[in-house]
Amino acid sequence: LPNVGSRNGPTELEKDTPVAAMESKLKALGHETRVMEHTSGLQAIVRTRSGWIGGADPRREGTVAGD
């Protein structure tokens, strides 16, 4: 999924994704925007009652493996 965020400043839209095409509409509504590369990525693992579940952002170098 594309990243969209704000850190008490302009709305940040991830470059080269469908959300970047929303920039002109957001500006028309009065938003300050910034199209930029997002280098964030997330990997996670969760233990549940039935075992372990994991996930990895496909845009980064992490992977998920299991039995």
Please report, for the chain, the start and end positions of each structural domain, with discontinuous segments joined by +: 4-56
Q: What is the pLDDT of residues 43-62, one digit of tens each?
A: 889 999 999 999 888 777 77
Q: What is the pLDDT of residues 3-39, one digit of tens each?
A: 888 888 999 999 999 999 999 999 999 999 999 987 7
Identify the CA nearest to 14 among candidates 3, 25, 23, 24: 3
